Copies of this chain bind each other. A is one copy, B any other.
Amino acid sequence: MKVIADLTIIPIGVGVSLSRYIAACEAVLDRPGLETSLHPNGTNIEGEWDLVFRAIRECHEKIHAMGAPRIHTNIKLGTRVDREQTMEDKVASVRGRLQGG
């Protein structure tokens, strides 16, 4: 089952600057089978369910190993069985409506 997800990871107890933890997670997500796209409030991820959630688990393990005692994460995700759809399709579908007026 394919999933299109949006991942936001907030390490807790490591001060106010979180970018080095987010970058470490980006490095974990950069693997065959996953397509990712960083945005200002998270990272969009496209891939097979098990690959996506194994990678998210490894992000948690990595960030704890870097010293974060606690992590809060938010995942939005969608699955569909009626048709194939990529991340680009989703954005193009809305943009087409906007241009079509």
Interface residues of A (CB under 8 A from B): 1, 4-6, 8, 10, 12-13, 15-16, 18-20, 22-23, 26-27, 37-42, 44, 46, 49-50, 53, 57, 60-61, 64, 69-82, 87-88, 90-91, 93-98, 101
What is the oligomeric copy number? 4
Main secondary structure of the interface of A (DSSP, over half): mixed
- Return the chain B residue nearest A49 by Cβ: B57
Q: Which of A69, A79, A101 has the most CB of B within 10 A?
A: A79
**A77 closest partner in B (C-beta):** B73
Residues B40 and A91 in contact, CB atoms below 8 Å apart: yes
Contacts of A91 in B (CB 8 A): 38-40
